[in-house]
Amino acid sequence: MKTRNYRIPIIYIVFGVLWITSSDYLLISLSPDLSPRVSGFMASLKGILYILGTGFLLYYLIRKERERIAEADKKRIGEIVDKINNLIIMSDPAGNITWVNRAFVNITGYTMQEALGKTHAELLYGPETDLEIVDKLTKALNNKAFFSGELVNYAKGGKAYWSQFNISPMFNIKGGLEGYISVENNIDDSKHREDLIVQQHRKLKAVSWFNSHEIRKPVASILALSELLMEEKNANEQQELIKYLRQSAINLDLIIHQVNEAAAVK
């Protein structure tokens, strides 16, 4: 690593030594035929050419070194992003996909080659994709603004899945738009849990309504029959009331069993 850091000064030194030795040899070989004035001019010209040559050489070497470092950083970042569990999609300013990570390939089934050049709409949208959210997303991208939302996307085989996404514009150092990066999460499991909670809530509401209406009937009958039974003196009438009281208790027990079955949410 340290050797690579010394590459530019080593090249610069070697070039300088070669220039000085070769140019001095050239002047010495030509000096018998040249006047002192011309020899001085040639020496000055040699210095000027050396400055120009080394200046361009340094510019070229520094530019190449910056490109090498940028490429190495890009590769290193790509390797890190490729290991993230989130789906990462990079697009150009026109919305065409330029890169996807391994998680995208694993979840959607599309290879990098199949995704390149396609838009999100061409590759991932389908019948259940919310067009209202898509419209808001498009407006945000046209304004070069960040946008976050949830959409139903479709994998290669046509399987729908819920995606929570955050898409951001990418700018260069001059402020120009370079493209967009979308970070997405597969939220199928959480959506299924939400649906289950909604179903449970509906069942509980139904049970609550059932409780408030159905269970009051036998309870009211039992209370009324109990009052009559306490006031009745005739033995035959008491037996008749007990029979009705027992039937009301049976009805109440049956309703309780129905409530338990309705409340049992798997």
Q: What is the pLDDT of residues 198-223, one digit of tens each?
A: 666 666 666 665 665 566 677 777 77
Element at 63 (helix H, strand E):
helix 36-82
Query: How far is Cα 171 from Cα 180, in angstroms, rounded to an integer?
Result: 9
Backbone CA torsion sign across 66, 68, 70, 72? negative
Q: What pLDDT shows up at residue 123?
A: 92
pTM summary value: 0.51
Q: Residue 127's pLDDT band (boundaries 50, 70, 90)? A: very high
* 240 touches 225 (CB < 8 A): no
Beta-carbon count within 10 A of 63 CB: 10
CA dihedral over 225, 226, 232, 234, signed as positive or negative: positive
What pLDDT does 60 receive? Answer: 79
- Distance (Å, whole) CA 42 – CA 85: 66
Tell me: the pLDDT tens digits for 64-106? 877 777 777 666 666 666 667 789 999 999 999 999 988 899 8
Tens of pLDDT along 189-201? 776 776 666 666 6
Better-predicted residue by pLDDT, 74 or 227 = 227
Please report where in the chains the tokens 């008491």 appear, as a residue.
238
Q: What pLDDT is stored for residue 2 in this prediction?
A: 44
Phi, psi dihedral angles at 183 (to 5 degrees): -110, 120
Strand partners, 54: none
Q: Please answer whether residues 181 and 168 qualify as being in contact, where contact means their C-beta atoms are separated by less than 8 angstroms.
A: yes
Mean pLDDT of the chain: 77
Mean pLDDT of 98-117: 91
Taking only the tens place, the pLDDT of each residue in 14-30 is 766 776 667 666 655 65
Reply yes or no on whether the pLDDT at 136 is more than 70. yes
Query: Is a pLDDT exceeding 60 seen at residue 227?
Result: yes
Q: Which residue has the tokens 């009745």?
A: 232
Collect all residues with Cβ–Cβ distance below 8 Å to 53 and sequence separation of at least 6.
15, 19
- Give the whole-angstrom CA distance, residue 41 versus residue 106: 70
**65 conformational bin, left if phi > 0, alpha if psi -120 to 50, beta if neither:** alpha
Signed CA dihedral, 196, 201, 204, 210: sign only: negative
**Residue 83 amino acid letter:** K
- CA–centroid distance for 243 within its chain: 69
Give the bridge partners for 151, in sequence order. 163
Q: Is the predicted pLDDT of residue 112 greater than 60, yes or no? A: yes
Could you give the C-alpha distances from 18 to 13, 50, 98, 202, 247, in angstroms and in order?
9, 11, 46, 87, 117
Share of the chain above pLDDT 70, in %: 65
Determine the Cα–Cα distance for residues 207 and 258; give it in Å rounded to an integer.
Answer: 9
pLDDT above 60 (res 117):
yes
